[in-house]
Structure 1
Amino acid sequence: MFLQEMLRLEGRGGYSGGCALCSKTGSESMFACNNCFGGEQLCRACILASHARHPLHIIKKWNGTYYESTTLKDIGLRVQLGHSPSSTCCNPERAFNDSFTIIDTTGIQAVSLDFCNCEEALSHSQQLLCVSWFPATSTRPQTAATFRVLRQFHIISLESKISAYEYYNSLARLIDNTGLVDIKNRYEAFLRMSREWRHLKMLKRAGRGHVPDGITLTSEGECAVLCPACPHPGINIPSNPNATDKRWLYALFVAINANFRLKRKKVSKDSVDPSLSQGWAYFVDETVYKRTCQSHLAVNMADTKSHQGLSATGVGTVDCARHNMKLPGGVGDLQKGEKYVNMDYLFCSAMWYNLVNDVNVSYDIACQWSKHLSERLKTRLDMLPSSLSEKKLTFFVPKFHLPAHIDKCQTTFSFNFIPGVGRTDGEAPERGWANINPVASSTKEMGPGARRDILDDHFGHSNWKKVTSLRLALLSKLKVAISKQAEFLNALEDLEEGIKSSKSEELTKWRNQVKEWENDRTKPNPYERQGNPLTMAAVQLELAREEAEDLMRNNSTALHDVCSASVLISAGLELEDQQRRLRCEKAGLGVHHTDHQESQLILQSNTLQRCIDSWVKLQHLFLPSLASQRAKSPGDDDSIIPPDAYKLMLPSEICRSIPCDERLQRVEWKLRYSQGLDALQTIRSNLRAQSCILKFKDRNLRGQGANTRARNTLKVIQARIDAAANRYDDAHKALYRLAPLLKENGVWSSVLRPLNRQDIRAMSDLLWGETEGTRKLSWIWCAGGAADGEDEAILEDMRIEWCKARARAQRWSEEVELLLEEMRRTLVFLQWDAARWEERGKSITSADKVIAAGHHAYAHRQANIRYSLAERCHLSWSPTMELAKKMDHEWRDVLMDEIKDLAGDKMQVENGLDEHVIRD
């Protein structure tokens, strides 16, 4: 049906009569418009009259058989500029232009123009601009593009990264897709107009049209879109934030990065293709930048293979690390890769536009780049005015890049461990490259000025999109941060409870140590291992000793002559453990086992059978009813039941079916409880050994032989972990059955929880989807006894993990405060920006009242946009902000002693509380 309707429109579509307006007949003179609604057929006179105000519509003519393409110009339409469409010029002989080309969203077509040439007539360019047609040149224009097509291409290119060549050819194809019509090539003119359009839109949005001589007096970075959530002294934070109690809340987060996809070939040069702006937005002023940087680069060295034919190998950028916005003056070309001199200049340039004294700097090579930075700036960039010497700089390595660094860097430069940074990850530039990289295919062929202008426009568009999306972005982050804050504070409390039970003095010592390191980084780092790492030889020795003990236990088959209840149950648990070992040995017996292996297994089975027989006789003394119960069971011939499958019928197994002495139940309860704790300790010690072996193997072992031996050792460790997990499961099930009979409260279940497979993991292991800042320790490391004993290695592991758990809780608490502060800053900034636009609208003094009215209208429209953004943000954020402020302040009290020294400030606890916190 759809196809039939599309074909119907190829004909006259039911309009077999005359003109739809004047009823004039004559099919050979009927016309229809592709752009008007309804597709009605009109005669020549009516189509010209109805399109006097729509001169760029595409029309078609019915030739008696089908519709053929034609133009309004061909059937006589003339466009009058400077007058109404119905009026004429008083000096028409000098106004006619019959070969004017217009580029519009409907296509590329020729029109007949009548310019006004009266005495008070405007220039031809101005007459075109008055009807929203952008002239290709300011003198005797022959081509123009409509504002509509320039705006459409502008938005489409920013969103889809389509090139001007592709877009222009698509417009040409709209007119003719057969190649039978010759269309004038105005591609170069379109390139020029679209570039000028971008530049003028940037100046317009920056308010330069509202300032006398605004364009010529534009300063560097003035046309950049600023981040409302970042601190701007005197605008949304105090002019002197150093005097405030929570100085860390007003720090600026920046991220430095380089993109080697945005390269440029050696085509054209600055003298031929200069930028329309000189560092007015994001790119630095190339004149000073190149003179400073190239004087310190070996620019005359032979080109490397990757640099051949390139004028710029990429771009370096400085971004807002928390909101992913390019900073003014923070972008520049790289001549020979990511050299220090380039990144030093860009960093100083970006910092010149922001007066914040505390700056957190994220850079993937910050550990090396930060060394001797001040000395380099003094010797290399003495031409660049900078107040960096007065700033407090803290350096970080982005979280995704951090694992590639050495262990020392992974703690010293980590966002996870240094106070005052919340949940910042420093990877903001990497997210932006995915959006800008598609434009590289076209910008690499451009001249230097055009490329910088285009990239500036893309960066500005990206910044504005971030501004408009802050409402949802910050709200989403705050909701997550509130829940995570509670979650990780509770996790920290659970861990501390497990440590306090036996090592409360150690916990106090660790707390003092981590505070000292946060205030002074020269102190010993509590996140680093201080002792010697466990070696493979030490682990193998420990395993050999355990194997010797196991052999001794397996060969001991005699029971006590004088048997008490505790001895009976203890022996039963030992037999249960031997059954598990025997089942494991059988499972590991391969299909092609040897006779020796099978004989050894039979001997173990026989030994176990004799032990069980002896133990059952003693058990029947304590529980005579068991003898009759076993006799009544279907499989009363015990010899046919393998010893590893024989049911021992301990009190926990028969408590619901056979009367049992409570003393026996109580004895088993105590033994099972200790068995569960012992199994957890075995799991923890073997997990620690497993982690050490894996690290040792990855860093030190090479070759098949060494790796095979290491894998065999890991198999032994894993077998011990599995055996201990099975022993724990049996103990937990027995306790679960005995608890109601012995009226045990639920305290035991908080210590010995159900053990899932994902709970059996090392301290440093992550579950799928977890990161260092979101992971939680498995409960087995928080259970009672985890920090027991005097093993220094285990205590050191517990110290490191406690420090990390504390850091996670602090970072999420900081994140809540940072987000609340960023929301406040955003609202204040938008209100300030709106007021600034209102002042611009009031300050217009142009003698031309028409132009002044336009200035006034635009300024108030921009002010209203910002007021509306602020209002929507306030309405969206208010409920969640109030919730965050009314959270249980006991959590804040727990960590107030910890947080009071954030960012190195020595503040009093009571001064560290905001007024709204004290009030709540």
Structure 2
Amino acid sequence: MMKADPMFSADPSYGAKPPQQALGNGKVMTIVHTNRVHHLPVYPCMCKKKIDIDIQLLHSRLYPASSKDPSTAFTFEALKFFHLIKVQTHLSTKNYSTLLCRLTNFIFPDETPRELGRVWQQWNHLINLKRYGFGHTNRDRKLDGAGYMTQKARYDEYVERTNKGNEPSTCYEHWAVADKNKAKKGYDSTGLVAIACSRHGCFAPGSVVDMQKGERQLNVDYALTEACITTHAESTHGLLFAYDINCQYCVNFRCRIADSGLQFPPDLPVTYLIGLFHVHGHKEECLWRFAPSYLSPGAGVTSTEIIESLWSQLNGAANITRTMTVSHRQEMLDACIADINWRKLQGLVPFLIRQLKKAEEERDEAQASFEGVDEAITPEQRDRWCEQMTTANSHRAADPTSMDVYNISVKKVEPKKDVQARLMAQEQANNAQLGVTRWVAQAIELQEHQIQLADLISCHKRSLTPSQSVEIQKKREFILKKLNSIMSEGEVLFPQAKLEEMSGQAPILRKICLCNDTCTCADEIAVTSNPRPKPLDVEHSLLPLPSCLDTCPIGWSHIIDVEEELRVGQANEALEALRVEIAHKSYLYRANRGAASTGKKAKTRSYNAIGKVDQGICNHVKRYDAAVWALDWLGMRSKYPMFQEIKPEHTKAVTNVYDPNARGQFDTSLSWIWMINAKSNSENAAYAAEGMQLNLPPIAH
């Protein structure tokens, strides 16, 4: 059909439209391809049995811009490429047309945006017919041709008639709840609500609805009921529904559906879940009531946060749809969502193969963990926990509070101040050994001041300004006064002990590396480490504590018991302070994520703030080490196996806080310092048993 013409052997117009249009029986047509806009002579068939020119163009893989006397046509390759560009990168028709014009000629006038937009709509419709046309049944109710976006007229009628009353919040005041009735001026739609498959990440047809104000329950109700209809949920065993605020949403769900007139299978069991990303922003009890990890059997290993990854793919379409008409916007969103689902379908086989390999690798690890827990418990505990798990999950749908059996009911560990108050109360009640607990506590506090002063001196070891020298001398004077006071009071409490003649040594403490990635403080640690304390320095003076003496005086068994309890409280107190500092450091890294990935030091406010937190972490690590060192010196370390050695990796910023979207975080767990209040390998400790019980169901499932 298309033949070369001598007059087009050279292009004197440099891509512009030639002045001559008629060429005998043919004419010059605008042909749009992926590389540029072409003006080529086209000679249609003139036989007696000829077909229409638009059909002839289609046979030549050219899509005409009109059916009658077309003057513009697009190659199939150009339309395929433009469709992918539009749904993948969300490029507007105008911008794509401008790119083609610039590839043709930088001063070439825009000629095709209107035709390209119209042809793409037809092309997109043909794609939908090709992919989904065979699947329609009489049960389909999308009468206006809606695909993933719901039918607008029926949805608007539902929104208008539905009661918009407020329900009291049962959890924290989340933005999704607090702003649900917050109106925004000048918007036809303030956002989207959609339903997607949590396992494979595909949008449900007809379930994407517009929000008129905030994220109201009536929007989610409509989207959920439409998704159940289009996916034939009534033929399944039940529905696992994950939503950010399900603790609030599930309260009156059935009543709202009955009052609104929506169709929902009355016998379909619904299990409400909250994704693992959002559940940690709820009350503590929401974790075991709604987290998928505690559903057994049911959700498997999934975060139920698939919709968040889908929004990240769809958010780019907002730039080009915000100024579109309602119908054009719906068509564009349908095309983008359909492409997301199509890509999911194309990649489903390799995805399932990868997931199967991953599951096989993790199965052995999970089995080993389960067997470790299973061997540590008694048969009575196993039977009781399995019965509690079965009962809780069977009543979960009707009463989520049945899952409270997973809650750890033991008390928190005692900090040093609470231990001191308890021991002093016992002394006063017995009217014996009065003042001993206070004396030992003061000595331990003085030791902490010594640690802080030693850290301060080590930080300024290379260069010391006059003001810093004065500050150090003031602290030394304070420690010396407190030491003299403790020694004087000790001579009154223990006149036969001869404290000044006692020998021993202060704890040898270390400084750990706090760099998140590449170590940049090796030289600093080498400079600031003190292999052996100097006895003449007040910050290394010997304290009259049982843990610091080579030999304890006769009759000090009560003193040893008091120091043991206070040291345990000191270790727990240091761990709690350490957790707070690490959390603070994580949020500082979130504000300046480059620091977490490089570990480099810079003279900026954010890095200085992180440096101060690191100093606090070092101090708390030394406080903890001093407590553990004392317990070891007293021969009590074996009684407290939960107090492990703190390593550099235990003090790093929590990745889930400063970079929630980082890869590979689903199976990572926090270090042991975050579990100290709920876990122990002591056979008779109540919190140890409940800690193992807490981990048993997810591992078993």
Whether these two folds match at TM > 0.5 is yes
For 2:571, the equivalent position in structure 1 comes to 683
For 2:300, the equivalent position in structure 1 comes to 422
Change (3 A) 1:290 1:643: closer
How far does residue 808 in structure 1 lie from its aligned partner after superposition? 3.8
Change (3 A) 1:608 1:716: farther
Cα distance per residue 1:220-257 (max 9 Å; x no partner): 499xxxxxxxxxxxxxxxxxxxxxxxxxxxxxxxxxxx
How far does residue 426 in structure 1 lie from its aligned partner after superposition? 1.8
Larger Rg: 1
Change (3 A) 1:411 1:584: same
Q: Give the conservation status (yes or no) of the 8 Å contact 1:582–1:644.
A: no
Distance in 2 (alpha carbons) for counterparts of 1:749 and 1:408:
29
Opposite residue 185 of structure 2, the aligned amino acid is: Q
For 1:552, the equivalent position in structure 2 comes to 436
**Residue from 93, 97, 110 that aligns with 1:168:** 97
For 2:672, the equivalent position in structure 1 comes to 778
Change (3 A) 1:535 1:611: closer
Q: Give the conservation status (yes or no) of the 8 Å contact 1:358–1:392.
A: yes
For 2:280, the equivalent position in structure 1 comes to 403
Q: State whether structure 2 residue 348 is matched by structure 1 residue 470.
A: yes
**Residue from 371, 374, 378 that aligns with 2:258:** 378
Q: State whether structure 2 residue 182 is matched by structure 1 residue 309.
A: no
Distance in 2 (alpha carbons) for counterparts of 1:58 and 1:465:
42
Distance in 1 (alpha carbons) for counterparts of 2:658 and 2:185:
46
1:668-707 mapped onto 2 (5 Å cutoff): 683-684=571-572, 687=575
How far does residue 431 in structure 1 lie from its aligned partner after superposition? 0.9
SS of match in other structure, 2:14: strand
How far does residue 541 in structure 1 lie from its aligned partner after superposition? 4.7
For 2:207, the equivalent position in structure 1 comes to 330
Change (3 A) 1:754 1:437: closer
Distance in 1 (alpha carbons) for counterparts of 2:30 and 2:616:
83
For 2:149, the equivalent position in structure 1 comes to 283
Instruction: Give TM-score, length-normalised by structure 2.
Output: 0.66
How far does residue 403 in structure 1 lie from its aligned partner after superposition? 2.5
How far does residue 460 in structure 1 lie from its aligned partner after superposition? 1.5
SS of match in other structure, 2:331: helix
**Residue from 404, 416, 438 that aligns with 1:525:** 404
Cα distance per residue 1:849-879 (max 9 Å; x no partner): xxxxxxxxxxxxxxxxxxxxxxxxxxxxxxx
For 2:14, the equivalent position in structure 1 comes to 69
Change (3 A) 1:731 1:190: same
For 1:358, the equivalent position in structure 2 comes to 238
Distance in 1 (alpha carbons) for counterparts of 2:389 and 2:14:
80
For 1:146, the equivalent position in structure 2 comes to 75
Change (3 A) 1:60 1:126: same
How far does residue 448 in structure 1 lie from its aligned partner after superposition? 2.3
Distance in 2 (alpha carbons) for counterparts of 1:71 and 1:639:
93
How far does residue 367 in structure 1 lie from its aligned partner after superposition? 1.9
Q: Which has the higher contact order (CA 8 A, sep 6+)?
A: 1
Q: Give the conservation status (yes or no) of the 8 Å contact 2:36–2:104.
A: yes
Cα distance per residue 1:807-860 (max 9 Å; x no partner): 442xxxxxxxxxxxxxxxxxxxxxxxxxxxxxxxxxxxxxxxxxxxxxxxxxxx
Q: State whether structure 2 residue 330 is matched by structure 1 residue 452.
A: yes
How far does residue 360 in structure 1 lie from its aligned partner after superposition? 0.3
Q: State whether structure 2 residue 461 is matched by structure 1 residue 516.
A: no
SS of match in other structure, 2:205: strand
Distance in 1 (alpha carbons) for counterparts of 2:314 and 2:475:
63
**Residue from 476, 482, 488 that aligns with 1:600:** 482
Q: Give the conservation status (yes or no) of the 8 Å contact 1:221–1:282.
A: no
Q: Give the conservation status (yes or no) of the 8 Å contact 1:107–1:175.
A: yes
SS of match in other structure, 2:324: coil
Cα distance per residue 1:595-616 (max 9 Å; x no partner): 6753332454689998577556
Distance in 2 (alpha carbons) for counterparts of 1:717 and 1:787:
32
Distance in 2 (alpha carbons) for counterparts of 1:597 and 1:750:
33
Change (3 A) 1:157 1:512: same
Q: Give the conservation status (yes or no) of the 8 Å contact 2:577–2:620.
A: no
Opposite residue 32 of structure 2, the aligned amino acid is: I
How far does residue 375 in structure 1 lie from its aligned partner after superposition? 2.5
SS of match in other structure, 1:360: strand
Cα distance per residue 1:541-570 (max 9 Å; x no partner): 5443457989616869xxxxxxxxxxxxxx
Change (3 A) 1:512 1:725: farther
How far does residue 189 in structure 1 lie from its aligned partner after superposition? 1.4
Change (3 A) 1:607 1:339: closer
- Percentage of matched positions with identical amino acids: 19
Opposite residue 683 of structure 1, the aligned amino acid is: A
**Residue from 116, 129, 135 that aligns with 1:190:** 116
Distance in 2 (alpha carbons) for counterparts of 1:463 and 1:683:
53
Change (3 A) 1:772 1:463: closer
Change (3 A) 1:364 1:767: closer
SS of match in other structure, 2:203: strand
Opposite residue 127 of structure 1, the aligned amino acid is: Q
Q: Give the conservation status (yes or no) of the 8 Å contact 1:161–1:439.
A: yes
Structure 1 residues 512-521 or 779-788, which shifts more?
A: 779-788
Change (3 A) 1:202 1:421: same
How many residue pairs match? The answer is 574
For 2:160, the equivalent position in structure 1 comes to 294
SS of match in other structure, 2:162: coil
How far does residue 305 in structure 1 lie from its aligned partner after superposition? 8.8
Cα distance per residue 1:494-531 (max 9 Å; x no partner): 5676776xxx9777655544443223234471233658
Change (3 A) 1:599 1:58: farther
Q: Give the conservation status (yes or no) of the 8 Å contact 2:162–2:218.
A: yes
Distance in 1 (alpha carbons) for counterparts of 2:290 and 2:18:
69
SS of match in other structure, 1:282: coil
Q: Give the conservation status (yes or no) of the 8 Å contact 1:324–1:432.
A: yes
Change (3 A) 1:473 1:804: farther
Opposite residue 482 of structure 2, the aligned amino acid is: Q
How far does residue 52 in structure 1 lie from its aligned partner after superposition? 5.6
For 2:32, the equivalent position in structure 1 comes to 103
Distance in 2 (alpha carbons) for counterparts of 1:121 and 1:77:
20
**Residue from 697, 700, 725 that aligns with 2:625:** 725
Opposite residue 329 of structure 2, the aligned amino acid is: R
How far does residue 164 in structure 1 lie from its aligned partner after superposition? 0.8
Q: Give the conservation status (yes or no) of the 8 Å contact 1:499–1:782.
A: no
Opposite residue 517 of structure 1, the aligned amino acid is: A
Change (3 A) 1:719 1:102: closer
Q: CA RMSD in A?
A: 5.6
**Residue from 671, 681, 692 that aligns with 1:802:** 692
SS of match in other structure, 2:293: coil
Give ranges in structure 2 of 5+ residues lacking alignment: 165-180, 428-433, 457-470, 492-496, 505-533, 551-559, 584-614
1:817-856 mapped onto 2 (5 Å cutoff): none
Q: Give the conservation status (yes or no) of the 8 Å contact 2:33–2:74.
A: yes
Opposite residue 442 of structure 1, the aligned amino acid is: I
1:31-70 mapped onto 2 (5 Å cutoff): 60=10, 69=14
Distance in 2 (alpha carbons) for counterparts of 1:553 and 1:373:
58
Cα distance per residue 1:335-354 (max 9 Å; x no partner): 44433333222211111122
Change (3 A) 1:318 1:125: same
Change (3 A) 1:197 1:751: closer
SS of match in other structure, 1:395: strand
How far does residue 126 in structure 1 lie from its aligned partner after superposition? 0.7
